Structures are given as C-alpha cells and as structure tokens.
Structure 1
Amino acid sequence: MAYNEQFAQRIRASFEIQPQAVRSNITEKKMFGGIAFLYHGKMTVGIIKDNLMVRVISNKMEGVLSSEHVRLMDFAKRPMKEFVYVSHEGIATEEQLLNYIELGLEHAKQKLNEL
C-alpha cells in the first residue's frame, strides 16, 4: 500500500472547507511513493503510508517538532529541510488535521511570496 486512501479522503474533505480561493487551487500529485496536496503547485501536506507529511516554515520547525507524534521527515534515511511526519495519533481529530493543513498552506504561501 503506497498510502492510506481513507486518510486521503479526510484531507480532501478538510480542503473542501477552506475558502474558495484556496480549495480551487489545490491539486494532487503522486510523490515520495504517496500523494501530495499542492497549493498553486507548492507542496502543503501529503501522505506516505499512514503518516501525514507536512511542510513547515523554518521559524516554526522547532515548535512543531516539540509536539507529540511529530518527527523530522527522513526520506531515504536523510532528514529533509522544512518537512515533518505526523503519526496517525497526532491527527486523530479534524481540528488537529486542520492545524497541520494550515501549517502546510502557510509554507506554500510563503514560498509563493518569495517568487
């Protein structure tokens, strides 16, 4: 199993409650052996197996990594800059999931502003 499809449906539903300007600019792309959700082509969150992958702006990484059920993303045994994994226990509620989606959207919007 490349990624959890039920979890992908939860993420899609969470994006559906975002403002129209956000949800109309979300696309999906298969990446890292899973699926990623992009805002204007910039990665926000994704799923690898049962883990949520989240892009986080640099100045929030330390705080996010101190959260329970969060760890630095280590794809191919290398830590990745501005990426974290959140285990299934860390996104048990819709409120928790929305919080991580907001972090991912914040990262994408910051990268778009840098262009």
Structure 2
Amino acid sequence: MNQHLTPTGMAYDSHLAERITQLVERHKVSFYVKEMMGGITWMVDEKMCISIFKGNLMVRVEPDELEEFLGKPGATQMIHGGKAMMGYLTVSSEGYDMEEDLEYWVNKCLEYNPKAKASKKKKA
C-alpha cells in the first residue's frame, strides 16, 4: 500500500485516492479533496461524497437503498458516537479492491449527491 500523510499526519492510501479521483473525474463534476475526520474526502457541490477513512471507504448513499448496499461485500452501517449514520456506510477493502467494485461505490455516491443535504456551515 502506498501510504501518504495528510497535513495533520493521518495516513491514507495514495493509490486508492488516485483511483477515486480518476473515477470522479470521469463524471465531469466539479469537486475538491478535503482533509476531514482523520481522512480525506471528495467534496461535490460542497457535500461529502466519498472518503478514505482508517483504511476503509466511507460512502454517502441513498438511505432508502440501505438493504441492497448492506448485502455488498465489506459494507457495514456506519456508526458514529454509538448511533447509526443514515445514508453512510463503511466499506472495507474486500468491497472496493476490484476496480468494478470501487466504480460501483463512486457511482452510487455521485448518484445520491444531488439529493443529499449539505451540512450546516459552522460560524467562525
């Protein structure tokens, strides 16, 4: 695994990051990559779309399709602070190592993005 560090010292797989970037670019959407929550996140329309977090993907997908998504290899409900995060899944490497699997997750995140709500901006 090609490890790189974010400016705050969190490690992430640079090869995986490049694969995600290439897949997002194919969709010809405006995006940027942002360090957040100890990982890196691809932001589309100022909304979290997909992230690399602790060696896993964090994907933001259609909550109504949760059962279908949880049937995919490596996919589990994301839990934060003891609560299930609706519309967010964690996907381990077994669920994204193959190019078609990673492409599936990127596509699902980008499909949901226009419907996703942007988080409220924190006031400085």
TM norm structure 2: 0.78
- 1:12 is matched with 21
Structure 1 residue 86 and structure 2 residue 91: aligned?
yes
- 2:121 is matched with none
How far is 1:15 from its partner?
Answer: 1.6
Contact 1:3 1:33 in 2 (8 A): no
Q: Among all aligned residue pairs of Structure 1 and Structure 2, give the percentage whose two residues are the same amino acid.
A: 33
Q: Could you tell me how far apart the structure 2 residues matched to 1:36 and 1:92 are?
A: 18
Q: Could you tell me how far apart the structure 2 residues matched to 1:65 and 1:13 are?
A: 25
SS of equivalent residue, structure 1 residue 67: coil
Matches within 5 A, 1:22-101: 22=29, 25-101=30-106
Contact 1:37 1:44 in 2 (8 A): yes
TM norm structure 1: 0.84
Kindly indicate which of the two structures has a greater share of residues assigned to helix. 1
Paired residues, number: 108
The equivalent position to 1:105 in structure 2, one of 87, 104, 110, is 110
Deviations 1:59-97 (A, max 9, x none): 111110122210011234432111001111111221111
Contact 1:3 1:47 in 2 (8 A): yes
Please identify the structure whose Cα radius of gyration is greater.
Answer: 2
SS of equivalent residue, structure 1 residue 3: strand
Name which structure has the greater RCO, CA cutoff 8 Å, separation 6+.
1
Specify the code of the residue in structure 1 equivalent to 2:113. Answer: A
How far is 1:55 from its partner?
Answer: 0.4
Q: What runs of 5+ residues in structure 1 fail to find an aligned partner?
A: none
Q: What runs of 5+ residues in structure 2 fail to find an aligned partner?
A: 1-9, 118-124
Cα root mean square deviation, aligned = 1.6
Contact 1:43 1:104 in 2 (8 A): no
